[in-house]
């Protein structure tokens, strides 16, 4: 059980002094141990994904931006853009990533507009028949 609570404690290095016999103050009981630093306050899955994006793109200055994108944007778009970036040798992977996300969003919007046009043209063609005009 290496992941239990007690495995997180590390003994602090202290100067050797004479041990006093008797009771210790309550505040000094845990001075011998310190917890490992986990390095952040990531509590949600999208925060983890945003942080992994920032690491992958070598852009740790803008971790907050990637966390926000992970929260608001569709995961499929972000993953497709990331897979596109992983194969490239660009100087600025973050710029290329943002460009690809923008391009994928535009493609998706154009596809939705085309689908709406097809649906409206089909429904408009049937209205004349229903009213008895033909």
Domain assignment of residue 131, yes or no = yes
Does pLDDT of 13 surpass 70? Answer: no
Closest-CA residue to 6 (of 36, 46, 42): 36
Contact by Cβ (8 Å): 63, 51: yes
Does pLDDT of 7 surpass 70? Answer: no
For the entire predicted model, the pTM comes to 0.58
Residue-wise pLDDT for 17-63, tens only, equals 666 677 778 777 777 776 555 567 889 999 999 999 999 999 999 99
Q: For the chain, how big is the Rg over CA atoms in Å?
A: 29
Domain assignment of residue 76, yes or no = yes
Domain count, the chain: 2
Domain assignment of residue 64, yes or no = yes
Residue-wise pLDDT for 63-122, tens only, equals 999 999 999 999 999 999 999 998 888 899 999 999 999 999 999 999 888 888 877 766
The most confident of 22-26, 122-126, 128-132, by mean pLDDT: 22-26
Contact by Cβ (8 Å): 57, 100: no
Q: At what angle do helices 45-56 and 63-72 cross, to 10 degrees?
A: 130
* Same structural domain, 67 and 109: no
Q: Which domain holds residue 119?
A: 102-134
pLDDT at 93: 94
* Same structural domain, 117 and 84: no
């Amino acid at each position: 059980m290496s992941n239990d609570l007690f495995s997180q404690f590390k003994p602090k290095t202290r100067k050797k002094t004479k041990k006093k016999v008797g009771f210790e103050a309550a505040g000094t009981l845990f001075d011998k141990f310190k917890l490992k630093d986990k390095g952040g306050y990531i509590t949600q899955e999208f925060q983890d994904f945003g942080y992994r994006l920032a690491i992958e793109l070598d852009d740790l200055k803008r971790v907050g931006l990637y966390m926000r994108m992970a929260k608001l944007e569709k995961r499929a778009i972000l993953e497709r853009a990331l897979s596109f970036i992983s194969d490239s040798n660009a100087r600025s992977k973050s710029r290329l990533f943002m460009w690809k996300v923008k391009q994928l969003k535009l493609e998706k919007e154009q596809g939705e507009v085309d689908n709406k046009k097809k649906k409206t043209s089909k429904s408009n063609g049937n209205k004349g028949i229903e009213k008895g005009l033909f």
